[in-house]
Amino acid sequence: MPDSAVDAAVSLTELVDSVLSNPALRAKAEIALVGDVLGPTDWVGGPGDDGAVVAGSVVACGEALFPPFVRADPRGAGFAAVLTNVNDLAAMGAEPLGIVDTVVASEPVAREVLGGMRTAAELFDVPIIGGHLTIHDGEPAVSAFGVGSAPAPLSVTGTRPGQSLVVTAALDGAMRPDFPYFPAFASRGRRCAGDVRLLPALARDGLVVAAKDISMAGLVGSLAMLLEPGGLGVTLDVDAVPAPAGVPLTRWLNCFPSYGFLLCVPPGREPGCLAAFAARDLAAAVVGTLDDTGELALRSGPQRATVLWLDEFRVTGLPR
């Protein structure tokens, strides 16, 4: 039985409760403010997806780091600022071309942040091409912005009933005790640069038609965001979800893995997609089939439990 299988100690009800109580999922509803102020979105050109496609094949995106994380681990926050952008670009089928950053912090904190960014930029083979620095003794703030090239852009608007849902993740890491974060880059090392460039290659080959990186909302929360624009549904087979040994599912389904993606694969293309990840020693599995119900549910063996209905639960609140 896979490590992710639900045993008697963890019921589907507990898993659903853990997902719905995840503050990072609830915080996604705040994104509705963007639509309220900026107006309608087409999701591809923005605002809406992880980034926006501009000029046909250029993808731009940005991330702000959680202030308590910056305070607790400025070097880790600098690394994460690059990592999150690289993942967002990959989720839209883009190879990273450059990172721009903004850092507002004391000099010692700023040095740590920039040091973390430099380490990540070297690991993912993406240059830091500019940014802004303000030396400030108050609360630190860190943001970064990425630009990439996507000859075959991916978008959540590409989701359709009948597509297979694939979860892929790097499992050779360890959960942080202080934040819901599962870093695997220390174990992956120089493979990280190729790992994130695999998604653009799969998009060009038509093996993946839509994707979402697994963010702080966790695997299930990010899945809700993937389904939201099309009002689609899926029953997630939690027994099939790739998961690291020794990490409770209540934590794994609600954490941010340094490498974790939800992929929509056309029927019949699953073997080629899974083989590409296996070739890089990355875990991947088919965990469900998209449908038109608007229901996100979990299944383990004969058990099944509804997480949410998209016509009742506001995920981001952006208009469909």
Statement: residue 98 has pLDDT above 90: yes
Instruction: For residues 214-235, give the mean pLDDT.
Output: 93
Confidence category of residue 2, pLDDT binned at 50, 70, 90: very low
Per-residue model confidence as pLDDT tens digits over 134-156: 999 989 999 999 999 998 999 88
- Decide if 77 contacts 65 (C-beta within 8 A): yes
Statement: residue 253 has pLDDT above 60: yes
Query: How confident is the prediction for the chain on average, in pLDDT?
Result: 89
Statement: residue 45 has pLDDT above 60: no
Quote the CA–CA distance of 195 and 218 in Å, as a whole number: 20
- Decide if 262 contacts 165 (C-beta within 8 A): yes
Query: Quick one: angle between helices 74-91 and 191-204, nearest 10?
Result: 20
Instruction: For residues 230-239, give the mean pLDDT.
Output: 96
Statement: residue 8 has pLDDT above 50: no
Q: Which amino acid is at 170?
A: A
Question: CB 190: neighbour CB atoms within 10 A?
Answer: 10
Who contacts 72 (Cβ-Cβ below 8 Å, separation ≥6)? 178, 179
**Alpha helices, DSSP H, located in 127-264:** 185-188, 191-204, 218-227, 249-252
Report the pLDDT value the prediction gives residue 211, as an integer from 0 to 100. Answer: 95
For the chain, give every residue range classified as CATH 3.30.1330.10. Answer: 50-149
> Does domain 12-32+155-309 match CATH 3.40.50.300?
no
For the chain, give every residue range classified as CATH 3.90.650.10. Answer: 12-32+155-309
Second CATH level (architecture) for the domain 50-149 = 2-Layer Sandwich (3.30)
Statement: residue 320 has pLDDT above 70: no
